[in-house]
Structure 1
Amino acid sequence: MLDEYMKSLSKIQKLSRKEEAALWQAYKMEGKVSARQKLIEQYQLLVVREAVKYPIQESLVLDLIQEGTVGLMEAAEKYDPAQGVAFSLYAIHRIRGRMNDFLRINQKEIPIDDQEEGGWFQMLESAEEDAFSVADRRMLSHTVSHAMDRLPEREKNVLCHVYLNEKTASETADELSISTAYVHRLEKQGIRRLRGMLSRIMHERK
């Protein structure tokens, strides 16, 4: 069931940058539910890819996908395209938060350090057309890139590894010669600092 679902997602037609921008405008400015649905569909694979990183039973992965989709919808509701932050970067934290909350409630939370990338995850990697790869290429708008240039070097390196290069915490730790716990700490610090700088950068450009 999960395999078929992931294969169907990999076949979703990818939106161009202009098409996605038009959908955000239709949703945010005109309140079109159909535009919102297309955006959720476009980024559904982002949810699935996050869920399948957890080495858990397939039935629980499906539950995680449901929870992550709720996070995705919450992110779409609160997202402001005018801020210049790529939606994938904005949404991933709500998606992960929803999943981790679900795992905590069920007393089955799995530390990020122990994640394994295999099985379903590798199937997604080999898909001919991967919508999330497109999201990755769009991840940093000029505004976010400008803000990242102001980050401390280690925070910037961690964010680039995790969000641009899709490295796991363990891989990032190995490449940067630091602990995985430090990777998570730098990631949180970098995101927090990035969010603070974005509002100032946008103000400077007005």
Structure 2
Amino acid sequence: MGTQLQQQMTLVPHGGLDGYIQGVNRIPVLSAPEEKSLAERLQTEGDLEAARQLVMSHLRFVVHIAKGYSGYGLPQADLIQEGNIGLMKAVKRFDPSVGVRLVSFAVHWIKAEIHEYVLRNWRMVKVATTKAQRKLFFNLRKAKKRLGWFNQDEIEQVASDLGVSPHEVVEMESRMSAHDQAFDLSSDDDEGNSNFAPALYLEDKSSDVALQHEQSDWERNASQQLSRAMSGLDERSQHIISSRWIDEQKATLQELADHYGVSAERVRQLEKNAMKKLKLAMAA
């Protein structure tokens, strides 16, 4: 299912990352009953169209998670692509009878794929992060005259040959000589060991990504609802509500009364009526 589905879908950001993100954010979020129905079709019938809808509706969630790994110096589009692979694996294994939402189940699979990608590339990223460092990295091995550390004369000679400073040669040699650290703690590591493995700090566990995404989605929907409700008010009511509740510099009743040439009590009544209309429109 995974290979067939991947062939049918364009899950890799093409034509600009911003455009891709805007596109996936426009895809509607599935309700719980819709999600369960699609998952059951996939599980019992192997329905690829159901799988496609499940994946597409959760692409925005992958983008949200991938942003949390931007500090590793890796292309955001690649992080999203790896996360999308994890999402497809999650969709394939999702059991709707368990009673949890797909977004909660998929977190593990999305992060697992992103973690693998980060770990595959982290060594290379740390060794050479700029064009000059990459040039030094690929030429330093050829420049070595013997095994072991350079002496001062060799450092000066390599720096002169490659057109870099002696300090950069020393730093790059140190990076190249460093050992990769295991992702997990070895079996003989005790709990009091202060040298924590990447498995303990690669992921930020201080926040619930699913909850953050849900909150962000709720705020966006609420903002859209408010905008539609405001458009149903007359121009004066819109101005009063904006001035009293939305604008950074809030206006007083008297300031609005002076602006419209009416009493402050009249402005208060207009504000009250406008608020009632907004609540009704947003509840509809």
1:124-203 to 2 correspondence within 5 Å?
161-163=207-209, 165-166=211-212
| Contact 2:24/2:59, CA 8 A, preserved across alignment | yes
Aligned with 2:68: secondary structure? coil
Cα gap change, 1:164/1:59 in structure 2, threshold over 3 Å: closer, same or farther? Answer: closer
Cα gap change, 1:32/1:47 in structure 2, threshold over 3 Å: closer, same or farther? Answer: same
Match status 1:2 vs 2:17: yes
Aligned-pair identity (%): 29
Aligned with 1:12: secondary structure? coil
Hey, what does 1:13 align to over in structure 2?
28
For the residues of structure 2 that align with 1:59 and 1:163, how far apart are their CA atoms?
Answer: 20
Cα gap change, 1:5/1:27 in structure 2, threshold over 3 Å: closer, same or farther? Answer: same
Hey, what does 2:82 align to over in structure 1?
67
The offset of 1:108, in angstroms, is 6.0
Hey, what does 1:101 align to over in structure 2?
116
- Note the aligned Cα RMSD (angstroms): 2.9
| Matched residue type, 2:80 | I
The offset of 1:7, in angstroms, is 0.6
The offset of 1:53, in angstroms, is 2.0
1:39-50 to 2 correspondence within 5 Å?
39-50=54-65
Hey, what does 2:150 align to over in structure 1?
none
* Structure 2 residue ranges without an equivalent (≥5): 1-15, 126-203, 214-284
Q: Higher RCO, 1 or 2 (CA under 8 Å, sep at least 6)?
A: 1
4+ runs deviating over 6 angstroms: none
Hey, what does 1:196 align to over in structure 2?
none
Larger Rg: 2
For the residues of structure 2 that align with 1:43 and 1:35, how far apart are their CA atoms?
Answer: 13
| Matched residue type, 1:86 | R
| Contact 1:79/1:90, CA 8 A, preserved across alignment | yes
* Structure 1 residue ranges without an equivalent (≥5): 111-157, 168-206
1:104-119 to 2 correspondence within 5 Å?
104-107=119-122
| Contact 1:89/1:163, CA 8 A, preserved across alignment | no
Q: 2:66 aligns with which of 51, 66, 74?
A: 51
**Normalised TM-score (structure 1):** 0.52
